[in-house]
Structures are given as structure tokens and as C-alpha cells.
Structure 1
Amino acid sequence: MSRGLQWIRALAAGRELPGFPASVKVIDGELGNRPARFVAVVPDAQNPFPRARQGEVGLLEGWGLAKAVDDAIEADAGGPARVLVAVVDVPSQAYGRREEALGIHQALAGAVDAYARARLAGHPVIGLLVGKAMSGAFLAHGYQAQRLIALEDPGVMVHAMGKAAAARITLRSVEELETLAAKVPPMAYDLASYASLGLLWERVAVEAIEQPGPDDIDSVRDVLVRAVQDIGDSTDLRSRLGAPNRAMSSRVRERLRTQW
């Protein structure tokens, strides 16, 4: 069982909603006495698209995510906006000729758009990283969150691509890439480097990330509730700015505001 499936079932403890691909799990629950929808992408060995059988985000997954979020926006229109929790354990987007021909860019853009519209409509959006958060899969599922929370574990990694692929693209060995990553935080995979960019709100230590127990579940739920409180009425992503390694990002925004 994947980490994503373990954690969504542990945190939501409800019935999986019907009407979604087998690789997209949607469960309604609550956080701090507030309605919440938990969403995860999980492996599906029977996926009709072979490139998306190991938890990758492909055509079915992109549109499934968009539906899960859109349904919540529509159901909550005019009333209290439920919390959306993206449980993230995605190794990549699905690379394949069929995916490209059938418009994976549109499917993933649909998911991004849904999360962004939900955030702007007042839904607190939280990304909980329990495994890999890689490439376009993370952009489609989790990156639009106002607060990103990661579990402390070597298996929780964030990057644009896997190490072997990054080494090929940059014409380096994996060892050379790791040496470079030690000096250049955006090239690294570890959570400390990612946190130095100001993108993580909090990191949470757990005892058993593969099979969380009651104490681990309570700890993570407590952090999720605090994240909702910290978001408040905010609908933007400005909390990500301010870290030392994002200084130039802040300066660019200041210059743009001055000129425009």
C-alpha cells in the first residue's frame, strides 16, 4: 500500500467517494470541527494507461483531481468553504506518447486551475507531503496550497525530476549532481534545502511513516488544524516569500510593483 493511500485513509477515516478513477482517492472528513476533503493519487496496477500505474499523475488523474476539487467548490458555493487537503505522494507526471497525444497538459492544467479557483474562492488548501513530490505531478497536485507541510523522512523528496533524469539532462553523473546540490539548494532533493526556499510551512516528525499509528495521526492532524487557522481568510501564496534563499524573488516583485 502506498504512503498516499495509507495517510489519506488514516487522516480522513471515512468512505472513499465513488465516481473517480481507481488512482484518485477522495474522502470527506473534518479538521477541527470543520468539513474537509482529502485527496490523493495512488498506484493502480490496472490503469488503462501503463505510464500511470505507479502513482504518476496522468490523464485520468489530472481530470479526476479537477473533478474532486470542482465538486467541492460547487457544493460549498454560498456557504462555508471546506478545507482541501492534498495528500502528496507522486513520483512524476505520466510520460507517454498517448498522454501527450490526448492532452496531458490540459488534464494537469485542469487540476491546477481547480485548486487555484478553490483557494481564491475561500477554501483553505493544504499540501501534505508524505512521499515524493516530483515534477509536473506536484505542480498539479499540491503546489497551489497556501501551506505546504512535509513529514520528516528521507523518502519525502521534492524536485523537478528524479536524480537519474536530472543527471542525464545536465550531462553529469549522479554523484556530481549531488555535489552540486550541496551548494545550490534549488538543485537538492532534501527537505532542509527545500525549506530554505521558504516553501515549506512546517515539517513534522513521525514514528512510522509507512504505517502511521494513533500518535502519528494525531500529530499530523494537529498540524493540519493549525495550518487552517494560520491561513485564516487569506487566499494568496505570499507566505512563501521572505526566506533568505528567496530574496531575489521578493526584489523582483518589488520592482514589478514599482513599474506597474
Structure 2
Amino acid sequence: MSQFPNRAALWLNKLAPDAPLMSGLCPSVQVADGQINGENVRFIAVVPDANNHYPRAAGGEVGLLEGWTLAKVVNETIAADADQPVKRPIVAVIDVPSQAYGRREEAFGIHQALAGAAGAYAKARLAGHPVIGLIVGKAMSGAFLAHGYQANRLIAFNDSGVLVHAMGKASAARITLRTVEALEKLAATIPPMAYDVSNYATLGLLSALLDINNPDAPDDHDLSLVSNTLRDAIAGCAHRCLTEVPPGRGKPPQLATGSRSHARQLVRRSYVSSRRKPAGSRPPERVITAPGRDGF
């Protein structure tokens, strides 16, 4: 793996061998067009760049440049396929340690950059593009939200190097006023607090968990397994149609009329109960007398 800066770069290269990287992008975002089962597929990865203009994003974090570049690539893919009856699948190859933390990032609007990337992926999904997130390494914090979490399907490697969480261990330990060791013990009993992918899989968000022989040096069996799983995930995306423009996939399921009514009643009941004050807590009622009776 030494010739690749992270697992995302490695797997992008393995899944789209000999494909040229898209030019005109920041070095930390790599895009290549390959094929899965004879179908054109666009692969996108965020990789480390030691010479990144923003040092906080040099280690593969998703920062300002990465967020806007991801949005640019995905939106251009949507525009290019706008008149095509079948939209090109997009595979986000994910190995991102975090979003980029820094004063410059905050000042220049990293929240907008990451929202732009997430919004572009969501737009692609709703436009009919099968969007697949392939988690080959870390999928952490806002970086995962911006790059991959909007996918129709999430596929992960069952490997100790795969971590999924909203916050790094050191940060989570500070926030929860625990040591890292205490946090790890707590995470072992609460799946949403855990970092390992096996616990994450119990939450029901993965469509596949793959046993890879060596994620850092995949053999032919590994490549075949991943390619076939991607093929099945693409085919399984709802509303794929070879003759007409897909109406969109990944939209929230529509509730039946009775279910919507019941949901509204529950929300209304919760609101009313939250507004109701305990007996005896109401202030005494004001007594309003007629004008002139008490000197007013």
C-alpha cells in the first residue's frame, strides 16, 4: 500500500485500473471512471495531500477544497447524465478521518462546503443515480456526512481498520468527561457509541459487510467480491429502469393516510402535554373590575 496515500486511493485504483484520474481537481479529491459488470461507474475518493493549501486537511480530512470539489464533481455528473435514460452509478470510496478543524475553515464556511457535498450526493440519488458508499477505512464525523453517507447503499469491510463514528475517540472522551479507556469500555456496551464496524453493522445501516483477506493488498478474490457486491448494490437500487428516466431513488417512504393521521395525533399530544403545567403552578387569575368602582 506504500504507493497509495490511503485505502481510498488504493481501492479507487483497483476498481478502476488504468483509468486516468480526472484533471482540474484539487489533489486531495481523486475521480476515475471505470466499469462494473460492463456499466460505466464513477468512483470518487478523498485522499491525503501533504501540500494541501489548508494544513488541517493534509491528512485526508474533508475540508473547504474537498467539500466544494466533491460538490462540483457530483453536480457535473448529474448535468452530464441529465438526458440519459439510465443514470451513471456513483461510488464514494470512503476512508476519511474527520472534517478539517481550523479557524480558517470555520471562517471560510466549512459548514457550507460540507453541506454542498452532501447536498450534491443527495441530489444525484434523487435524480436517479445509484449512489453507493464503499467504506474501506475510516468514516468519521462530518467527513462521512459529506462523502458517502447520502448513498442508497452502504458497504463496509469487516476489518479492524474500518471505524465509523460521529467523533474521534479523543474528542468524544473530552466531551463526555471520560478517559479514552473509559470511553472504550462504555462503547463496548452501547453499539451507537462504539467505533468498530461490527457494532455499527448491528444498527442496520449497512447493506453488506465484507470479509476481505487483506484490505491493504487485495488479491483477486477480494477484488471479485467487492466488484460483485457493488454490482448487486447498483442493481438493487430502487426504480432502476432501462427504458425511461428513473423517477428517483432513496426518497423517504410515504406513510399511509391512517399512519400520517396517527403520527400527527402523537405529535399534537406530545406538544400539548409539554405545554401543560403541573397543578398549582398557574399564577393567580387577575380580577378586572369595572371602571370607576375602585378609583381607576
Say whether the fold is shared (TM-score over 0.5).
Answer: yes
- Secondary structure at the aligned position of 1:211 is classed as coil
User: Match for residue 136 of structure 2?
Assistant: 130
The 1:45/1:184 distance shift into structure 2, 3 A limit, reads: same
User: Match for residue 37 of structure 2?
Assistant: 32
CA distance in 2, matches of 1:256, 1:161: 37
Residue 212 of structure 1 deviates from its aligned partner by: 1.7
User: Match for residue 150 of structure 1?
Assistant: 156
Does 1:86 find its partner at 2:92?
Answer: yes
The 1:84/1:155 distance shift into structure 2, 3 A limit, reads: same
Residue 101 of structure 1 deviates from its aligned partner by: 0.7
Alignment of 1:84-123 (within 5 A): 84-123=90-129
- Secondary structure at the aligned position of 2:95 is classed as strand
CA distance in 2, matches of 1:32, 1:193: 31
Residue 31 of structure 1 deviates from its aligned partner by: 1.5
- Secondary structure at the aligned position of 2:234 is classed as helix
Residue 259 of structure 1 deviates from its aligned partner by: 1.1
- Secondary structure at the aligned position of 1:129 is classed as strand
CA distance in 1, matches of 2:24, 2:263: 48
User: Match for residue 178 of structure 1?
Assistant: 184
Residue 214 of structure 1 deviates from its aligned partner by: 2.2
Q: List gaps (5 residues or longer) in structure 2.
A: 240-247, 266-296
The 1:256/1:227 distance shift into structure 2, 3 A limit, reads: farther
Does 1:160 find its partner at 2:174?
Answer: no
User: Match for residue 206 of structure 2?
Assistant: 200
CA distance in 2, matches of 1:178, 1:164: 11
Spell out, residue by residue over 1:146-202, the C-alpha distance to the aligned partner (whole angstroms, 9 max, x if none).
110001110100001111111111001112111211221110011121111111111
User: Match for residue 219 of structure 2?
Assistant: 213
- Secondary structure at the aligned position of 1:144 is classed as coil
Indicate which of 233, 236, 242 corresponds to 2:250.
236
Residue 237 of structure 1 deviates from its aligned partner by: 6.3
- Secondary structure at the aligned position of 2:212 is classed as coil
Alpha-carbon RMSD: 1.7
CA distance in 1, matches of 2:260, 2:98: 34
Number of equivalenced pairs: 247
Residue 255 of structure 1 deviates from its aligned partner by: 6.9
Spell out, residue by residue over 1:105-138, the C-alpha distance to the aligned partner (whole angstroms, 9 max, x if none).
1110000010000000000000000000000000
User: Match for residue 139 of structure 1?
Assistant: 145
TM-score (norm 2): 0.80
The 1:187/1:236 distance shift into structure 2, 3 A limit, reads: same
More deviation, 65-74/208-217: 208-217
More deviation, 30-39/43-52: 30-39
Residue 15 of structure 1 deviates from its aligned partner by: 0.9
The 1:163/1:255 distance shift into structure 2, 3 A limit, reads: farther
Indicate which of 66, 72, 80 corresponds to 1:67.
72
Matched-pair contact (CA < 8 Å) for 1:146–1:237: no
Structure number with greater Rg is 2
User: Match for residue 284 of structure 2?
Assistant: none
Does 1:4 find its partner at 2:18?
Answer: no
Matched-pair contact (CA < 8 Å) for 1:122–1:235: yes
Counterpart amino acid of 1:167? A
CA distance in 1, matches of 2:159, 2:80: 36
CA distance in 1, matches of 2:251, 2:236: 12
CA distance in 2, matches of 1:258, 1:161: 32
User: Match for residue 169 of structure 1?
Assistant: 175
Counterpart amino acid of 1:123? H
CA distance in 2, matches of 1:135, 1:147: 18
CA distance in 1, matches of 2:262, 2:217: 47
The 1:212/1:100 distance shift into structure 2, 3 A limit, reads: same
TM-score (norm 1): 0.91
